[in-house]
Amino acid sequence: MSALGALLTRPQVAGGRTGLLSQVLLALVCAGYGVGAATGWGSPELALFMGDFGLSVAAMIAAVSCFLYARASVSRLRPAWLLFSVSSLMAAGGNAIWGWYEVVLGLPVPTPSLADLFFLCFAPPAIVGLLVLAKRPVTRAGWVCLALDSWLIGGSLLTLSWSLALAHTAQMAHVEDISVARAALSLAYPLLDIVLVSMVLALHFRRANANRSAVNTAIAALALTVLSDAVFTSPLLRSTYRSGELLDAGWFAGSLLLAYAPWGARRSAREADRSGGQPRATTSRPIAGSLAALTPYLAAAVCTLGILYNVVEGRRVDQVVVLTGCTVVLALVVRQGIMLLDNISLTQELAQKENHFRSLVQGSSDVIMIAAPTGILRYVSPAAAGVYGRDAEDLVGCELASIIHPDDLGRVVHEVRRFLAAPPHEEPTTRIECRFRSGTGDWLNVESTVNRHQGGLLLNSRDVTERVRLQAQLQHNAEHDPLTDLPNRALFTARVRQALGGRRSGDPGTAVLFIDLDGFKAVNDTIGHQAGDELLIQAARRLADSVRAADTAARLGGDEFAALIIGDGTRDQGAREYQVHEIADRLRLTLSQPYRIGASEVRVAASIGVAFAEPAITPTDLMRNADLAMYRAKAGGKDRVELYAPQMQADVVRRSELAARLRTALRDGEFALLHQPVVHLASGSVAAVAAQARWRSAQGILFTPAEFLRVSDDSDRTAELGRWLLEEAVEQAAERARAGHPVSVSVRLSAGRLLDKALPFGSIEALLTRHGLPSGALMIEVADSDPRVSFDDLEQRLVALRRLGVRIALDGFGSGYAAINALRRLPIDVLKLDRGLVEGVVESARLHKITSGLLRIACDLGMQSVADGVDVPEQVLALRAMGCTHGQGMAFSGPLDEYRLRRVLVRGQFPVPGTPAARPVLAGGSIPLLTGSHAETPVPPT
């Protein structure tokens, strides 16, 4: 037998026997009373007391018990327990009166007496209570059948009893001239007992399903009471009966059983709640159904037995027997006719339901299977041929486990075990998804709704293979990059988390590589995005081929890739770093090889950052470290590998803090504007001033643009700073012109800032008009280092500014990649040489020739030239000899505040090497321009 079959055939353990203690106690009390009655209680007086008042107390206990339960119950059977309480109360009263005569008064009980009235009142409430307990018919024919069954049983018993004893009792009463009351009383007891027995038997075959245990207990209690009454009323015992004898044990046990019945009902209700309200199937139900069907024939047999008894005894058949027998036979005929019609109707209804069920099952696209408790398939719907590719007949008789995939069988068995152990009302069904073998030998993904069915399973199955494939595809798409099919950031993060938390969690050799393709944006801009996508696909293929099977290559977005290198358990950190560095360098060389895109050959480089796992590090921190190392590699010249160091994080924190301080400084107005004179190299006169922003910190220290612009990554703050610099420079230039110092001012703006929407087209014109700055007094220094700027848009913008009288200077000439193109297309007035050319013009002959050639171009184009970073006299002499017209640098003056600038403008010129000596201006008062990345200069006295 398979594991699934063994599981289904395993017996299910029911709830614990919660009422065992009370049942044992009840049995002990009844047995003790029976032993006492059998031994005569030790004395006649105690026997009389226990035989009368003991029975009265037992009946009173039953009355109180049934009343209390009926008061607390809200079920349909509540009236039955109230009637049983009244019936028991009558029995208690009759026994109490009987004891009053025998025990208290010491007199024999008269016949008839008040006790007989109470005893006769015992039967009617019990009979009505039994009717309440019976299952109520739902049709008129059912009510008729219930009445006929009751008469069949009662009439048969009356026939038999009349033949055996009651006829003789009636004759003796007539012969002995007994009073009518005594004669009626002698017949009333057995007749009421016959009615009670009839109701007990009818109720046994028609009892309701609810509270079956309580109903059975009540029936047993009343049956025991009726049996004791029957023995008491027999002619053989009644004349010799005395209170306290063994017969009293039957009445005593019947009363206590009736007292126990309702509390058994409460316990049965709790068990029904735990089982979901479904009655437990028992083996006696078919037998009970057969006996119920045989009831009419048994009644006829009993009538026949009564008549035969009279014939055998040679007696004349009594009229009562004949009349009763005829009515029983008539009731039997009527009942059989009703049953025949009912059977015809039920047969037609059953056939209709079977046809309906067959149509539903055969027309359903789902496969319905019934597995026996042994795990064998007993039924498979015809839909199996279309779903599984196997005929239903081929599957019937197979083990359910034989068509389930072996890898799924353990999970299915576990789920079925859990489902069968759960209470049915809490979990009526469950859902199982596994793989079934199809007729072609393939495995289909099948989803089954499983129900309990006669100890086995009922499975409603459907093919969900396409849905599973779609879910797998959606899951793959959610975790992989759509262009390269590499794992995306989410899956890569999950893999990193798994590597840090698995069995190698303490392995310091696990490393994360962040890779950025240098020059990829230029590929998109020059040959198109489609070519860029093809380059990314080839790069992803190279990356995936270069890592091991246990490692993970991923695309994080854009031209950023990543790789997870799983550690090999090496404890030598230096050796592991060297090994991973070699892997990263090999990746760099692989990714830097030429790419064939169509007919073109494209080259890009790779900057790689490497970060190693540390104890207790999180995936987020590890990936952040690799990202920082990658950006350090790009900042260090690109096309290189950089290992993460803790100092990188400290630099980021410091930059973040400085950026936050920068935003606060913009809001609080902590920026100051300085100007550096631009000197005519031939005469030393001040031709213009270059506006430069400085950040005056709370400690009185000025930060240079190279320091705070490097951390100004917030585009909004940068735009705000550019607007402030332009407005402040124009405003101060206008004030100087009004004060008699009309000198032009130059403001450096990037090409991207000139085209930024944050600087509207008419804002510069409005600014010049508002402050009344004359034409030619403002010069914009344009940087040409941004390849993303469109020359067409920039040309239109500069032409519009030229119409406003704004002069245009090309800043950093000689360093940008598009300098020649800018000269060709843009309306340039002044060329400003880059500091890198000026610094080595004296020492390097090669640089001297390059600078000379550039100045010759400016001269041929009729442009003025400005050399930035002229710091020593030798540079002044060399540049002037090459034809450079203006210079700016420490050879003349550093950046000046407004007070010192006006003193310079009053003076009018600076001493120039090679000309007659003149007293230097502001000797010792200039601010040295430091080139360090974060150097600070003290604020000069004002």
Q: What is the pLDDT of residues 874-907, one digit of tens each?
A: 999 999 999 999 999 999 999 998 889 999 998 8
Judged against a pLDDT cut of 90, whether residue 678 lies above it is answered with yes
What pLDDT does 817 receive? 53
Count of residues in the chain: 942
Sheet with 605-612, strands from edge to edge, namely 552-557, 560-565, 511-518, 605-612, 641-643
* Residues 798, 35: Cα–Cα separation, whole Å: 126
Residue 120 φ/ψ, nearest 5 degrees: -70, -30
* Residues 62, 257: Cα–Cα separation, whole Å: 8
- Per-residue b/e over 240-262, b at no fewer than 16 CB within 10 Å? eeebbbebbbbbbbbbbbbbbbb
Lowest mean pLDDT among 560-564, 663-667, 893-897: 663-667
Sheet with 443-453, strands from edge to edge, namely 377-380, 367-371, 456-463, 443-453, 429-437
For residue 244, give both structure tokens.
């306290």
Q: How far is CA 112 from the centre of its chain?
A: 80
Q: Which residue has the higher pLDDT, 866 or 115?
A: 866
Mean pLDDT of 694-713: 63
Q: How far is CA 547 from the centre of its chain?
A: 35
For residue 742, give both structure tokens.
């009309």
Mean pLDDT of 663-692: 87
Residue 181 to residues 167, 172, 892, Cα–Cα distance (Å): 17, 14, 151
What pLDDT does 615 receive? 83
Q: Which residue has the higher pLDDT, 98 or 181?
A: 98
Q: Is the pTM of this model over 0.85?
A: no
Mean pLDDT of 357-381: 80
Q: How many Cα atoms are found within 13 Å in the side-chain-facing hemisphere of 676? A: 27
What is the per-residue pLDDT across 498-515, written as a single tens digit (0 to 9) for each?
Answer: 888 866 555 677 899 999
Q: Which residue has the higher pLDDT, 757 or 825?
A: 825
For residue 97, give both structure tokens.
């009166």
Cα angle for residues 127, 128, 132 (degrees, 5° grid): 120
For residue 302, give both structure tokens.
């009993």
* Residues 62, 85: Cα–Cα separation, whole Å: 7
Instruction: With cut-offs at 50, 70 and 90, classify the pLDDT of residue 745.
Output: very high
Mean pLDDT of 519-537: 89
Question: By the 8 A CB rule, do 373 and 456 touch?
Answer: yes
* Residues 449, 28: Cα–Cα separation, whole Å: 50
Q: Which residue has the higher pLDDT, 160 or 811?
A: 811
Mean pLDDT of 563-571: 80
Mean pLDDT of 181-195: 53
Residue 786 to residues 152, 167, 586, 806, 830, Cα–Cα distance (Å): 111, 129, 31, 22, 19
* Residues 568, 576: Cα–Cα separation, whole Å: 9
For residue 141, give both structure tokens.
């024919």
Question: By the 8 A CB rule, do 865 and 830 touch?
Answer: yes
Lowest mean pLDDT among 90-94, 285-289, 642-646: 285-289
Lowest mean pLDDT among 44-58, 308-322, 480-494: 308-322
Mean pLDDT for the chain overall? 78
What pLDDT does 503 receive? 62
Instruction: With cut-offs at 50, 70 and 90, classify the pLDDT of residue 289.
Output: very low
Judged against a pLDDT cut of 50, whether residue 178 lies above it is answered with no
Percent of the chain with pLDDT over 70: 73
Q: Which residue has the higher pLDDT, 461 or 525?
A: 461
Lowest mean pLDDT among 646-650, 785-789, 850-854: 785-789
Instruction: With cut-offs at 50, 70 and 90, classify the pLDDT of residue 266.
Output: low
What pLDDT does 489 receive? 93
Residue 408: beta bridge partners? none
Question: By the 8 A CB rule, do 753 and 716 touch?
Answer: no
DSSP string across 512-563: EEEEEEETHHHHHHHH-HHHHHHHHHHHHHHHHHHS-TTSEEEEEETTEEEE
Q: Which residue has the higher pLDDT, 11 or 374?
A: 374
The most confident of 3-7, 112-116, 243-247, 793-797, by mean pLDDT: 793-797
Strands 671-680 and 778-783: unpaired
For residue 683, give both structure tokens.
């005469």
What pLDDT does 281 receive? 42
Lowest mean pLDDT among 235-244, 255-264, 594-603, 769-778: 235-244
What is the per-residue pLDDT across 50-92, written as a single tens digit (0 to 9) for each?
Answer: 888 888 999 899 899 888 888 887 677 788 888 888 988 988 9
> Of 598, 628, 413, whose CA–CA distance to 512 is shortest?
628
* Residues 552, 512: Cα–Cα separation, whole Å: 10
Residue 696 φ/ψ, nearest 5 degrees: -90, 105
Looking up tokens 């085209």, which residue turns up?
A: 755
Instruction: With cut-offs at 50, 70 and 90, classify the pLDDT of residue 912.
Output: confident
Mean pLDDT of 349-353: 81
Strand, coil or helix: 899? helix
DSSP string across 450-517: EEEETTEEEEEEEE-HHHHHHHHHHHHHHHB-TTT--B-HHHHHHHHHHHHHSTTTT-TT-EEEEEEE
What pLDDT does 3 receive? 61
What pLDDT does 373 receive? 85
What pLDDT does 535 receive? 93
What pLDDT does 724 receive? 84
Question: By the 8 A CB rule, do 219 and 245 touch?
Answer: no
What pLDDT does 920 receive? 40
Judged against a pLDDT cut of 70, whether residue 268 lies above it is answered with no
What pLDDT does 288 receive? 47
What pLDDT does 181 receive? 47
What pLDDT does 935 receive? 31
Percent of the chain with pLDDT over 90: 19
What pLDDT does 803 receive? 87
* Residues 895, 888: Cα–Cα separation, whole Å: 10
